[in-house]
C-alpha cells in the first residue's frame, strides 16, 4: 500500500460534511432552500410529541426534510430510501 500524498490525504481525511460541501454544487435547489426555511423553528413544537419509550428514532428535522423531499420529488417510500442512499444532494439536505 502506498503512503498517502498531500493531494490524496486531503481526500482521505475529510469529514462527511466537508465531502458533502465539496460534492453538492452551490446552485443545487436543496442548498438554496436550506437557508431560507428555519427547520428548527418548524420542528421544535413537534419534539414534545416524541416519546421516550422504545428505540430512538431519527431527528424530527431530518424526518420533516425527508417528507418534503419525498413530496417534492414524488418519490414512493422505496424510491425515497434509494434517494437517501444514492443521491448526495438529498443526503446533504
Residue 86 lies in a domain: yes
Question: Who wins on pLDDT, 5 or 31?
Answer: 31
Beta-carbon contacts of 33 under 8 Å, excluding residues fewer than 6 positions away, are: 93
Query: 87 lies in a domain?
Result: yes
Would you say residue 82 lies in a domain?
yes
Tell me if 1 is assigned to some domain: no
Q: What is the mean pLDDT of residues 55-68?
A: 87
- Residue 79 domain boundaries: 14-47+60-92
Report yes or no on 66 lying in a domain. Answer: yes
Higher pLDDT, 10 or 49: 49
Assess if residue 6 is contained within a domain.
Answer: no
pLDDT reading at 4 higher than 60:
no
* Distance, CA of 9 to CA of 21 (rounded, Å): 17
Whole-prediction pTM: 0.71
- DSSP conformation class of 75: -
The answer as to whether 19 is a domain residue is yes
At residue 76 the predicted structure's pLDDT band, cuts being 50, 70 and 90, is very high
Number of domains the chain contains: 1
Amino acid at each position: 500500500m502506498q503512503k498517502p500524498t498531500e493531494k490524496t490525504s486531503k481526500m482521505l481525511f475529510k469529514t462527511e460534511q466537508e465531502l458533502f460541501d465539496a460534492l453538492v454544487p452551490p446552485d443545487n435547489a436543496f442548498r438554496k432552500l436550506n437557508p431560507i426555511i428555519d427547520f428548527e423553528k418548524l420542528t421544535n413544537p413537534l419534539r414534545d410529541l416524541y416519546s421516550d419509550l422504545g428505540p430512538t428514532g431519527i431527528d424530527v428535522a431530518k424526518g420533516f426534510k425527508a417528507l418534503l423531499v419525498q413530496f417534492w420529488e414524488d418519490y414512493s417510500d422505496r424510491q425515497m430510501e434509494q434517494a437517501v442512499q444514492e443521491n448526495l444532494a438529498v443526503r446533504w439536505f
